[in-house]
Structure 1
Amino acid sequence: MRFDDLRALFINCTLKRSPELSHTQGLIDVSARIMEKHGVAVSHVRAVDHDIATGVWPDMTAHGWASDAWPGIQEQVMAADILVLAGPIWLGDNSSVTKRVIERLYGSSGILNPAGQYAYYGRVGGCLITGNEDGVKHCAMNILYSLQHLGYTIPPQADAGWIGEAGPGPSYLDPDSGGPRNDFTNRNTTFMTWNLMHLARMLKDGGGVPAYGNQRSAWDAGARFDFENPEYR
C-alpha cells in the first residue's frame, strides 16, 4: 500500500519555546518517523513559537488583533490529510496552547469544501499526550471529540501517551524515565500511526466522506435528505 501522496501535520502544543527541550516532541518523533519511512510528507509546528491570537475567527486581525500567525498555520492544516495534536498535561487537563489551537481550528470549521461539506471532511485526526501526572485519557477525549465535531474522521486507537509516576518526577525524555522504552506507549503510538495512515489512504482513495446527507450548502438550499417532520415542511 502506498502512502507517499499523503501529508501529515503534527502541532506540538508544548508550553516551551524553541529551542528548549520538548518531551512532547520526543513522542511526536516516534510517530513521525514511522510515517516518513513510508513516504508520508511530515510537517511540524510548535504552536508556542508563533504569535497565535486568541479567538474563534479565521483571522483575528479583523477583530482587533495587531497580528495573527494562525492563517499561515491554517494553510498547513488544510494541506494535510492527517492532523495530530500533541501536548502536555497540566492540572490534569490539556495545555492552554492545545486549547487555543483547537479554538482556532474551530474558527474555520464552518467553511465549506467544493462538495458543500464542512472543510475538514475527508481528513483524519489523532493525538499524543505526555506528562508526569494523571490525565492522558481525559486529554485525549477532549481533543478527539473536538476534532470529530469539527469534521475530522477519527480511526480506532487514535491516541497514545506517556506519563510517569503520579506526582513530580521525570518527564518522557529525562534520563531513567523509561519513557522511550515503554512498551505500552510504543505499541499504542505505533497502532495510532498506522491507523491514521490506513484511514487517510481509504478516504483519499474513496474521494473523501460521501457527500449525500451531510452537505450544508444543500441543506441551506432546501434539501432534507429524507428527514421527515410534518412541522418542518
Structure 2
Amino acid sequence: MGGPGPEARAARADRAEPRFDGLRALFVNATLKRSPEVSNTGGLIDRSVGIMRHHGVQVDTIRAVDHDIATGVWPDMTEHGWERDEWPQLFRRVLDADILVLCGPIWLGDNSSLMKQVIERLYACSSLLNEAGQYAYYGRVGGCLITGNEDGVKHCAMNVLYSLQHLGYTIPPQADAGWVGEAGPGPSYLDAGSGGPDNDFTNRNTTFMTYNLLHLAAMLRAAGGIPAYGNQRSAWGAGCRPDFSNPEHR
C-alpha cells in the first residue's frame, strides 16, 4: 500500500517543529550605513535571524562597512600593497558558517558597492580546498536578502545567487527575499508608514527562504557534504580525471 497522501504529509509537517541545533549561519549586511545608523536591510535580516535562533541555530552577523576590507581578489591584500585588511579575520567567520546569507540595498537598480566587494573577496578565497580536496565552499548553503525603494530585487538576487553557486555554495529553492517600496523616492523598509515589516509577500518569502536554507544545510551536514567524486580539485590537478583518459593512472 502507498504511504500517506500529500494532505496528510503536509499536516504532519505543520505539527512537527524542527530543530537545527549545531548549525551556524552568517548574515553579511552590505548596507552603506555605518553602525549605529539604522539599516533597513538590517531590519529584514532580523526577521530571518529570529526564525533561525528560535530553532537553535547559532547566528553571526557582519556589517561590512564597519570593517576595513581592502579592495582586491587575493585572500590577504596586505600581501599586495594594502596597509590594512580585515578580510582574513572575517573570512574565518565565513568558514565557520554552514549558511551564508548576503544582504544589501539596491542602488541604481543594482547591488551596493559593498556587496560587490564582499563577493569579490569571497571569490579571492575560492581556490582554497576542504579536507576532501573540493573547493572550500562545498557543503555550505547560500541565500540573499535585498531591500530598497526602487525596482531591482530580482536582478540583485540573480547576481548574488549566481555568484554564490559559482563559488561552490549550494542554493536551495526560493533562496532570496526582498522588499521595495514604491518606485522613486519614498519610505524605506523600517520607516514609519512604509508597510515593510507587515508586508505579507515579503514575510512569506523571507520565511520560506530561511527554512529552505535550514533544511538544505541540515541535509548536507547529515550527508557529510557534497559527495567527493568527480569534483575534487586536488584529484583533477593530480591527473585523476573521471570520464577522461588518465594514462598515468592506468
Same fold (TM over 0.5): yes
- Residue 191 of structure 2: aligned partner: 174
How many Å apart are 1:223 and its aligned residue? 1.1
- Residue 9 of structure 1: aligned partner: 26
Q: Secondary structure at the match of 2:62?
A: strand
Q: Quote the Cα distance in structure 2 between the aligned partners of 1:222 and 1:13.
A: 40
- Output aligned runs, 1:49-68, within 5 Å: 49-68=66-85
Match of 2:135 among 115, 118, 124: 118
Choose 1 or 2 for highest CA Rg.
Answer: 2
- Residue 126 of structure 2: aligned partner: 109
- Residue 91 of structure 1: aligned partner: 108
Q: Secondary structure at the match of 1:196?
A: helix
Match of 1:188 among 194, 205, 210: 205
TM-score by length of 1: 0.97
**Amino acid corresponding to residue 178 of structure 2 in structure 1:** G
Over the matched positions of the two proteins, sequence identity in percent amounts to 77
How many Å apart are 1:226 and its aligned residue? 1.2
How many Å apart are 1:110 and its aligned residue? 0.4
- Residue 144 of structure 1: aligned partner: 161
1:132 and 2:149 equivalent? yes
**Amino acid corresponding to residue 81 of structure 1 in structure 2:** D
**Amino acid corresponding to residue 22 of structure 1 in structure 2:** S
Q: Quote the Cα distance in structure 2 between the aligned partners of 1:112 and 1:176.
A: 48
4+ runs deviating over 2 angstroms:
none
1:72 and 2:97 equivalent? no
Q: Secondary structure at the match of 1:18?
A: coil
Alignment length (residue pairs): 231
Q: Secondary structure at the match of 2:105?
A: strand
- Residue 15 of structure 2: aligned partner: none
Q: Secondary structure at the match of 2:197?
A: helix
Match of 2:65 among 43, 48, 71: 48
Q: Quote the Cα distance in structure 1 between the aligned partners of 2:26 and 2:78.
A: 24
Q: Quote the Cα distance in structure 2 between the aligned partners of 1:51 and 1:208.
A: 32
What is the CA deviation profile of residues 206-225 of structure 1, one whole-angstrom value per residue up to 9, with x for unaligned ones? 00000100001101111111
1:197 and 2:214 equivalent? yes
Q: Quote the Cα distance in structure 1 between the aligned partners of 2:146 and 2:242.
A: 39
Match of 2:35 among 18, 30, 45: 18
Q: Quote the Cα distance in structure 2 between the aligned partners of 1:33 and 1:132.
A: 24
TM-score by length of 2: 0.91
What is the CA deviation profile of residues 130-153 of structure 1, one whole-angstrom value per residue up to 9, with x for unaligned ones? 000000000000000000000000
Q: Quote the Cα distance in structure 1 between the aligned partners of 2:28 and 2:164.
A: 13
**Amino acid corresponding to residue 218 of structure 1 in structure 2:** A
**Amino acid corresponding to residue 206 of structure 1 in structure 2:** A
How many Å apart are 1:228 and its aligned residue? 5.9
How many Å apart are 1:2 and its aligned residue? 3.2
Q: Secondary structure at the match of 2:51?
A: helix
Q: Quote the Cα distance in structure 1 between the aligned partners of 2:125 and 2:185.
A: 38
Q: Secondary structure at the match of 1:171?
A: coil
Q: Quote the Cα distance in structure 2 between the aligned partners of 1:137 and 1:188.
A: 13
Unaligned runs of 5+ residues in structure 1 are none
Q: Quote the Cα distance in structure 1 between the aligned partners of 2:34 and 2:55.
A: 30
Q: Quote the Cα distance in structure 2 between the aligned partners of 1:70 and 1:167.
A: 35
Deviates more, 1:219-228 or 1:46-55: 219-228
